Structure 1
């Protein structure tokens, strides 16, 4: 029995060391985006850990072995999604074949059962609170060990009860510990990314406060005198051309400063009931000439019933920033679709384009200061303004994008309270 206990602990040690090593690769010291860990990497890592686990397995009876390969299988299913689940189930069966015995049938039955269970549970699995997730993962592990004992007991007269007791205790406790460690590391990863964004936003906020008067006031004076020169009857035509360009650049500089000032004054100055349909129609009328110029069709659909609360001017800024980004992403035409709906969680506005889309790394960095996909034409402040204003309106931003398949940005807001009375 001591050999079984020792073998399972060694198995657990390899799993823990692999998780910690993976964490070091993902969270580099100075650059959080150094290593991309996708679903293929997760599948390969989980498969490797399953192979190591079965190589470290302990034989308890003719044709039956105990190991912890269910833990990497479970982790891969939790964080990998349906394609990974199917792949890991196949790997679990294949790596058991060389060992022979009646345990192959038990492994196959367990793999099929848990493939169906995990595919069914996956869509809402990571949305549950941490405590509930840990209890669920631990219960799944306990149930796996129970089924792994009942099947051979019924079909093959397996009676190694004490060995089973050791196995179920170690597997269940190890699953809880490993899943808790993964959740802590995952939370730390997300908090570190949020911390980096917060520090950059604070930098912009301080910068905005410092330049609001020192730059904006003299810029206004310069623009005023340029306008006088441009409109003066004695000004030559070629000079008017130069002054019009200078005025346009001054307006552009003023617009950038206004975006900075959003961070110096992040909260809406006024909070009024906003009728989404009216606000969206205003935005559509503003951007329609630009959309027509690029061969883009704008479509709208409204399925909400209640207004939201916010500053109309700042909300228009949100709509224009996102819509212009969508138009810029469709160089050769496409469809810009603005769609609203409502449920018990609030009012949701989705703005979808059929443009070039973004990678997962680009989506993760969206909203960072000075991060732009427009090259020299972008300041990287537009989406940062969007995130800040939506946050001040007690809303959330969700981005779903795939390269060459377009982007959908969903803004969710609480329902205006007075509308419920």
Structure 2
């Protein structure tokens, strides 16, 4: 036997096994969701059966009817990770694939296949609770024992004892088993950790959302409860109770606004799309924030240079504008000018809102739009700009922010224009 040729064929066999295992894993993982393990027993059986067949086609044949290859690796891999049915199915497939070659080696194959089934069925369940490195070492040891029973002992009985060939076969089979199982365990462990990480991240977001919502809604509800108790204790003081009722109603409105922001965060998609008159929406939004602007000593200047309309939902578009305008006004603590400019360019409608407020650092601009990130301290929920980013994205728009500390902030919104008029889009 040409030992160098024997070694090269075994290496090619290993390369084929590794390529197919990697391709199957990457293909399966890329198509799977993030809620369950991706490897179905049937897929494991088919993959390993194909690998057994390919390994046999790459085998080295001896004159006395013995053939050697790495088919034991996919048999062991499928039997361990596929379960009892896959193990028995692969045992039958291995024997059937080997059957046409017959010879004394066929009897050895049947014996070792049956023996391996009993060993795997007995040992594999005991290794499931062990660290994955321990499992890899055990399965590598199985391959080493198989090489002795499949090559060394038969070579002594059938007169082809070649210790160099045995060491090549045993070393290649044992090392290949370690490498294949190590790779498979790494892929499997990485995927499990990914599932756990995604699950943890979801739970973390939910806990943050619940904590933030309970904190923000509790404040106005506590105020309403206190005022109602005062009204109940002094029913005859009409003027005082009227003032208390106004404050209570305003607090309920504030709680409603907070809940609406959270609902937008949960489902930011507009329910109905229609043609929007941008000039009308900007004018209406400006009127809504005007009392706040006057209270802060802010002048609002509007310069509308666009001609076409855009598509979206009026209430959600107003929410985008009002959130940005309120942030700009509140950023100008000592008053100033808030400018709103619109224009068209390259089939897009641009809305530029510029304030002369306290501005932001580069790091703050980068974090703008993150959940719960707010520059207002305890007065902000951290959901306003996040809602703006989501709604602009849903309307197929873009948002760009430029800011410099103590020099103000400029926000530019961009939306694709539409020339249709009066059309409602479901």
TM-score by length of 1: 0.51
Q: Unaligned 5+ residue runs, structure 2?
A: 230-258, 260-426
User: Which residue does 1:40 correspond to in 2?
Assistant: 42
Instruction: Specify the structure having the higher radius of gyration (Cα).
Output: 2
| Separation in 2, partners of 1:8, 1:129 | 29
Distance in 2 of aligned mates of 1:215 and 1:8: 68
Q: SS at 1:37's partner residue?
A: coil
CA distance in 2, matches of 1:137, 1:34: 25
1:306-331, Cα deviation, whole Å (9 max, x unpaired)? xxxxxxxxxxxxxxxxxxxxxxxxxx
**Deviation, structure 1 residue 101:** 1.4
Aligned equivalent of 1:115? 117
Contact 2:70 2:173 in 1 (8 A): yes
Q: 2-side partners of 1:117 and 1:35: how far apart?
A: 26
Q: Which residue of 2 aligns with 1:127?
A: 129
* 8 A Cα contact 1:25 1:35, kept in partner: no
CA–CA distance in structure 2, aligned partners of residues 58 and 224 of structure 1: 89
Say which of 61, 64, 88 aligns to 2:63. 61
Distance, in Å, in 1 between the alignment partners of 2:158 and 2:21 is: 36
Give the structure 2 partner of residue 94 of structure 1: 96
RMSD of aligned alpha carbons: 3.1
Asked if the contact 2:112–2:150 (Cα under 8 Å) also holds between the matched residues in 1, the reply is yes
Return the alpha-carbon distance in structure 1 between the equivalents of residues 95 and 228 of structure 2: 77
Shift of 1:137: 0.9
Q: 1:150 to 1:101 in 2, by over 3 A?
A: same
Is 2:181 the counterpart of 1:183?
no
Structure 1 residue 198, shift from structure 2 partner: 1.7
Q: 1:30 to 1:100 in 2, by over 3 A?
A: closer
Q: Could you tell me how far 1:162 is from its partner in structure 2?
A: 2.0
Superposition misfits of 4+ residues, deviation over 2 angstroms:
29-37, 153-158, 216-227
| 1:66 Cα deviation after fit | 1.1
What are the residue-to-residue correspondences of 1:230-379 with 2, within 5 Å? Answer: none
Question: How far off is 1:88 after superposition?
Answer: 1.0
SS in 2 for 1:61: coil
> Cα gap change, 1:109/1:184 in structure 2, threshold over 3 Å: closer, same or farther?
same
Contact 2:45 2:78 in 1 (8 A): yes
In the alignment, what sits opposite 1:81?
83
What do the CA deviations read for 1:286-322 (whole angstroms, capped 9, x no partner)?
Answer: xxxxxxxxxxxxxxxxxxxxxxxxxxxxxxxxxxxxx
Verify the 8 A CA contact 1:137 1:176 in the aligned structure 2: yes
1:103–1:30: structure 2 CA closer, same or farther, 3 Å change rule? closer
Residues 1:64 and 1:179: Cα distance change in structure 2 (over 3 Å)? same
- Partner residue in 1 for 2:215: 213
User: The residue matched to 2:30 in structure 1 has which SS?
Assistant: coil
| Aligned equivalent of 1:137 | 139
Distance in structure 2 (CA, Å) of the matches to 1:150 and 1:200: 55
CA contact (8 A) 2:29 2:38 kept: no
| C-alpha separation in 2, matches of 1:30 and 1:90 | 30
- Matched with 2:12 is 10
Q: Deviation at 1:199?
A: 1.6
**For 2:191 and 2:103, how far apart are their aligned partners in 1?**
43
Distance change in 2, residues 1:28/1:160 (3 Å): same
Indicate how the Cα distance of structure 1 residues 223 and 93 shifts in structure 2: closer, same or farther if over 3 A, else same.
farther
Q: 1:223 to 1:7 in 2, by over 3 A?
A: farther
Q: 2:21 aligns with which of 19, 22, 27?
A: 19
Q: Shift of residue 179 of structure 1?
A: 0.6
Whole-angstrom CA distance in 2 between matches of 1:30 and 1:36 = 6
Aligned to 2:160: 158
Secondary structure of the corresponding residue to residue 28 of structure 1: helix
CA contact (8 A) 1:57 1:67 kept: yes
Secondary structure of 1:128's aligned partner? coil
Structure 1 residues 213, 43: closer, same or farther in 2, change over 3 A? same
Return the match for 2:204 from 202, 209, 224. Answer: 202
Aligned length: 233
Give the distance between the partners of 1:88 and 1:224, measured in 2 at CA.
73
| Contact kept in structure 1, 2:37 and 2:192, CA below 8 Å | no
| Change in 2 beyond 3 A, CA 1:225/1:59 | farther
